[in-house]
């Protein structure tokens, strides 16, 4: 069997188009455009790139972005002060504090300072708490896990009643992905570094989400024939044949898995593009909520 390869790039492009249309409709009613504030502390090159990509994506769909770049030695008090000012700014509908923060800053306290109405990353403890509770709905859901669910649905996966396995339990990917699958009525197993006999747990999965950060760890013979496989991992491996000296691979051994799975996301071009598209959608929803 050769799996259907889920085209995250195309699905994200579709989502971005819908966001652009939504922004246009909103602005046509005479209100200000949606606004996203990005807060970057320090000079982590990867974080700088992510923030740049997010601001560029905003511009492409008509969302205004406001960049705040704070020095690496910013105090806890000062970063929370910036967040509180942004909470009160009516031009700002979403606040994104780029993680990780420099060592010594209390990440949870910073995330908690963001108004839940502007928490477009969905990491505020209240939004995460609501995600975990039956009958409660968060105002925003974290973008990468939300993207995984969109890709599964677009690929035709039946989530209700499915056996789902999530490998990884991080706050930003694994755990919220598992909570979202529970909301979709899947039966969910969460695996991590202490899980015993991971291959046999994975083999039970109709839906497998890998969010580990280990290149090609999940092998083809860990996958149930016909399963839906979502590979969140982004790992650099040396590749002297490439000009830049490396290539990106996921947490799943794609060439093996594609022979067994029913559908699978590639890396790159699978989950990655969905993250920024989700952020744009969340910012639009926040702006729409202010005029509703
Ligand atoms: P973390 O390092 O925060 O979490 C990794 C998880 O994998 C942990 O729960 C850890 O277990 C588990 N794990 C590690 N080793 C093993 C092992 N040998 N067996 C089983 N489980 C293991 O990573 P993130 O969740 O932040 O990211 C995961 C991957 O997703 C990374 O490659 C990252 O680059 C990528 N990513 C991609 C995004 C995108 O495409 N937009 C966005 C965010 C992340 P334990 O809890 O026990 O330590």
Q: Using the atom order of ligand 1, give the atom closest to the CA of residue 143.
A: 41
* Of 128, 113, 122, the residue nearest 179 (C-alpha): 128
206 domain residue, yes or no: yes
For 292, the 3-state DSSP assignment is coil
pLDDT tens by residue, 190-204 = 999 999 999 999 999
pLDDT of residue 154: 98
Average pLDDT over every residue of 203-222:
98
CA 168 to ligand 1 center in whole angstroms: 5
Pocket test for ligand 1, best of 148, 190, 232 (most atoms within 8 A of CB): 232
Distance, CA of 89 to CA of 64 (rounded, Å) = 13
pLDDT of residue 129: 97
Q: Give the count of domains, the chain.
A: 2
- 25 in a structural domain: no
Span from the CA of 167 to the centroid of ligand 1 (angstroms): 8
Render pLDDT for 94-139 as a digit per residue (tens, 0 to 9).
999 999 999 999 999 999 999 999 999 999 999 999 999 999 999 9
The mean of the pLDDT values for the chain is: 97
Q: Same domain, yes or no, for 207 and 267?
A: yes
Domain of residue 158, residue span:
142-272
Instruction: Tell me if 92 is assigned to some domain.
Output: yes
Are 150 and 262 found together in one domain?
Answer: yes
C-alpha to C-alpha distance for 65 and 165, rounded to whole angstroms: 37
Whether 191 is in the pocket of ligand 1, judged by its Cβ within 6 Å, is: yes
Q: Candidates 174, 202, 250: which one to mutate for ligand 1, based on the most atoms within 8 Å of Cβ?
A: 174
Is residue 93 in some structural domain? yes
Given the residues 7, 119, 121, 231, select the one marked as catalytic: 121
Question: 25 pLDDT exceeds 80?
Answer: yes
> Does residue 106 share a domain with residue 157?
no
112 tagged catalytic: no
The model's pTM is: 0.97
Domain membership flag for residue 182: yes
| Confidence check: pLDDT of 283 > 90 | yes
Percent of the chain's residues with pLDDT above 70: 100
């Amino acid at each position: 069997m050769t799996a259907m390869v889920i085209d995250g790039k195309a699905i994200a492009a579709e989502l971005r188009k819908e966001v652009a249309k939504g922004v246009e409709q909103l602005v046509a009613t005479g209100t200000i455009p949606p606004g996203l504030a990005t807060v970057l502390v320090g000079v982590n090159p990867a974080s700088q790139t992510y923030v740049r990509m997010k601001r560029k994506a905003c511009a492409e769909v008509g969302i205004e972005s406001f960049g705040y770049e704070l020095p690496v030695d910013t105090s806890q008090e000062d970063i929370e002060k910036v967040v509180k000012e942004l909470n009160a700014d009516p031009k700002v509908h979403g606040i994104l504090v780029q993680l990780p923060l420099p060592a010594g800053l209390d990440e949870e306290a910073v995330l908690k300072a963001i108004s839940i109405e502007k928490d477009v990353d969905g990491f505020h403890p209240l939004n995460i708490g609501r995600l975990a509770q039956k009958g409660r709905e968060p105002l925003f859901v974290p973008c990468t896990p939300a993207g995984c669910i969109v890709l599964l649905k677009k690929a035709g996966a039946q989530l209700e009643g499915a056996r789902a396995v999530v490998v990884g339990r991080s706050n930003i990917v694994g755990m919220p992905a598992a909570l979202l699958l529970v909301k979709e009525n899947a039966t969910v197993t969460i695996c991590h570094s202490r899980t015993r006999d991971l291959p046999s747990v994975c083999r039970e999965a109709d839906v497998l989400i890998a969010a580990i950060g280990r290149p090609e760890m999940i092998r083809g013979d860990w996958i149930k024939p016909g399963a839906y496989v979502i590979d969140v991992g982004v790992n650099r491996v040396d590749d002297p044949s490439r000009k830049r000296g490396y290539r990106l691979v996921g947490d799943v051994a794609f060439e093996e898995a594609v022979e067994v799975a029913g559908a699978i996301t590639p890396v790159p071009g699978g989950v990655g593009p969905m993250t920024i598209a989700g952020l744009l959608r969340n910012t639009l929803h926040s702006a729409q909520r202010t005029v509703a």
